[in-house]
Structure 1
Amino acid sequence: MDERTAIATRRGENYGGRSRQERATDRRDRILTSALQLFGTRDYDEVTVAEVCTGARVSKRYFYEHFVDREDLVRALHKEQNEWLLAGVFSIMPETPVTLDEMLRPAVHQLLTMLRANPERAQVIYINAPRMETRRRGVLRKDAQFLAGMLRQLGVDPQDQTRYERMLLALVAGLSEVIIDWLSRGMTDDLDQLADHLAAYCQAVLVAA
């Protein structure tokens, strides 16, 4: 051990070969992992900060170094999970989609497939986090912007931008409500049929937009 490392270790900056920042990042990751398991399997109001800390093997002191409270934790968790979902949808998009249908059907099918394969993530994104209404509205706007970015690949150039943005917001809000209903009933509906129905809904709204 060199002199600098030894000094850092004595100061608490380096422990077990990891820096203070690395240890803090690891604790935050463990808290989020514990939160995903708990909020992904139980109702929002049933989960406590103490339970999250127990699952993450951290004290409440460390929890409050990263998050203000339970709601702040769920906001961060929801952001992380929603970004995971959007990235997964974007990853299967054809580089040069020719028609609206060629873009929508694989995107919706991928969305539903990812949610069915990851019910805990689905619970966080669509069931528990929407209880925080302000956060839900922000996410819907972000999802509408994500969809607008996908449509730009098709060369979509709306003449009435305000009408277009409102229609996209209405589209993702309606899509979310159907998905929430699907999740609430145990995701038992035929996935291919549901994907077809939702893709047709998206296409109808976009044509009107």
Structure 2
Amino acid sequence: MSAEQRLADRRERLMTAAYTLYAKPGFAATTIERLCSEARISNRAFYECFGGREELLQALHERCVEESLAVVTKAVQEAPNTLEGRVKAGIRAYIEFTTADWRRARIMHVEVRRSGDVLTTSRQRAIEDFARLVEEASSDFPQAAPNRRLVALGVVGALQELLIEWLLTDDQPHIDELVDTAVHIFIQSLGAPDTAG
């Protein structure tokens, strides 16, 4: 392999190791030594790939967000052209994709918060990206709320809390229950204004 290929291979092995270790035992409990042992590379090689554990977490989080956005965008584009159709398709796609691998869900919704200030910018950017997607998906339809962007941010936050509940509670709600609850919140928040009476 060329030097570039070796670097890319090491970087990918570290991403794979972090995907499991940052999910459990978690970011705070995972040392660079443990990451290197899992990835079968030297500590020196680690610093050729990443500036530190935080940079690795950011790269991993951003990959998870990009993959999730792509899945949701595709689902919304293929959904029936109604507010409810788009909301149901987007939410189901997001929840099913995120929960299909508990490590992805944990990194995106638990470890990103537990990392303190490390991922503040990355997390905020992800929330803005998902809120923008909600705004675009609902923009063809009238709504009662006065500020579509703030409503989009609110419903994205609600969806995150539902997934944290799924991850951390002993009595884990069923995926369909999460989807139905999230759809209800989104439709009530984004729904068309009541013109009756």
Same fold (TM over 0.5): yes
TM-superposition CA deviations, 1:49-80 (whole Å, max 9, x none): 11111111111212112222111111111000
Report the CA distance between 1:178 and its aligned residue.
Answer: 1.8
In structure 2, relative to structure 1, the CA distance for the partners of 1:67 and 1:157 (3 Å cut) is farther
The count of residues paired between Structure 1 and Structure 2 equals 189
Runs of 4+ in structure 1 deviating by more than 4 angstroms, as ranges, are none
CA distance in 2, matches of 1:202, 1:123: 23
- Structure 1 equivalent of residue 95 of structure 2: 112
Report the CA distance between 1:156 and its aligned residue.
Answer: 4.8
Report the CA distance between 1:94 and its aligned residue.
Answer: 4.6
- Structure 2 equivalent of residue 58 of structure 1: 41
| 1:201 is the counterpart of 2:185 | yes
- Structure 2 equivalent of residue 29 of structure 1: 12
Matched-pair identity in %:
28
Q: CA RMSD in A?
A: 2.5
Report the CA distance between 1:96 and its aligned residue.
Answer: 5.9
Report the CA distance between 1:179 and its aligned residue.
Answer: 1.3
TM-superposition CA deviations, 1:7-34 (whole Å, max 9, x none): xxxxxxxxxxx22111111111111000
Match for 1:92 among 75, 78, 88?
75
Letter in 2 for 1:143: F
Verify the 8 A CA contact 1:92 1:107 in the aligned structure 2.
Answer: yes
- Structure 1 equivalent of residue 159 of structure 2: 175
Give unmatched runs, 5+ long, in structure 1: 1-17
Give unmatched runs, 5+ long, in structure 2: none
TM-score, normalised to structure 2, is 0.84
Verify the 8 A CA contact 1:31 1:56 in the aligned structure 2.
Answer: yes
| Secondary structure, counterpart of 1:97 in structure 2 | coil
CA distance in 1, matches of 2:186, 2:7: 43
Larger Rg: 1
Report the CA distance between 1:104 and its aligned residue.
Answer: 1.0
Match for 2:52 among 69, 73, 77?
69
